[in-house]
Amino acid sequence: MKRRTRLNFSSIIMMLGALLLAVGPVAQRAWAGPDDDNANVNNLLDQAQYQAERLARDTNAMTGQIRSDVSWQALSDQLVRERAHVNDLGKLIHQLQSSRIDASRWQKESIDRVVPLLQDVANDTTDQIEYLNKHESSFYAPRFHKWANQNAKLSHEFAGMVTDIVQYGKDRAELARLRDNLDQPNIASK
């Protein structure tokens, strides 16, 4: 009787092992995401690139205005533009997070990298805007100049990173297209 129980236990272990070997790659692939890029995610990353570049230009313009000692009123338009970019980035954060489930593996990794940085850039810019709204005369202070310059630098670095991610996606798609064309008959060789 003991031997039969042991055989049954061994058989169950072997069956579970075989099942794990058979299902493991499928489960891993389902967890990792599809191999094909999600066009909506690519579009959202393009939008993130556009908004990040706009924010970088505006934060750079703000540092230029601060250096030129413009009036507080002249900075208000700049602050409104930056606030609009931050709001747009906030919407993109939500959309990227919502679309992550349908993203390819590299897109998921990109979302995981971009979203926290998007949040940081948006929060830093919001902090700067709120500070200026409370302390209108502080934009003349050297400490504020340094803060604004660092925010502009961070915004530029972020925009560059998003640009690199978007370009990676385009290069990856082109590489896949070229790989797929390798199997096609070469018209020139006929």
Whichever domain contains 48, its CATH number is 1.20.120.230
Same domain, yes or no: 77 and 111 = yes
Q: Which residue has the higher pLDDT, 30 or 143?
A: 143
124 Cβ contact list (under 8 Å, min separation 6): 151, 154
Res 28: pLDDT? 43
Same domain, yes or no: 77 and 113 = yes
C-alpha separations of 68 from 18, 65, 122, 132, 139 in Å? 72, 5, 25, 17, 11
Same domain, yes or no: 137 and 60 = yes
C-alpha separations of 107 from 62, 121, 165 in Å? 33, 20, 9
Res 31: pLDDT? 44
Res 73: pLDDT? 75
The residue-averaged pLDDT of 16-27 equals 53
* Domain ranges, residue 87: 34-189
CA atoms within 13 A on the CB side of 163: 11
Task: Measure the CA angle with vertex 91, ends 90 and 94; round to 5°.
Answer: 90
Beta carbons within 10 angstroms of residue 62's beta carbon: 26
Same domain, yes or no: 84 and 152 = yes
Q: Which residue has the higher pLDDT, 106 or 184?
A: 106
Residue 113 above 50 pLDDT? yes
Res 187: pLDDT? 62
Tens digits of per-residue pLDDT, 1-21? 555 544 555 565 555 555 555
Percentage, residues of the chain above pLDDT 90: 31
Same domain, yes or no: 23 and 82 = no
Distance CA 187, CA 189 (A): 6
Same domain, yes or no: 125 and 176 = yes
Tokens standing for 40?
Answer: 């909506």
Res 29: pLDDT? 42
Same domain, yes or no: 117 and 176 = yes
Tokens standing for 71?
Answer: 């009036």
Res 30: pLDDT? 44
Same domain, yes or no: 58 and 28 = no
Q: 139, 79 in Cβ contact below 8 A?
A: no
* Structural domains in the chain (count): 2
The residue-averaged pLDDT of 140-158 equals 86
Name which of 145, 76, 157, 78 is nearest 120 in CA terms: 157
Same domain, yes or no: 46 and 79 = yes
Res 64: pLDDT? 85
Same domain, yes or no: 17 and 77 = no
Same domain, yes or no: 78 and 146 = yes
Same domain, yes or no: 47 and 18 = no
Residue 139 above 80 pLDDT? no
Q: 59, 152 in Cβ contact below 8 A?
A: yes
Q: List, in sequence order, the alpha helices (H) in the chain.
A: 2-32, 39-67, 72-99, 105-134, 142-181
Q: 60, 150 in Cβ contact below 8 A?
A: no
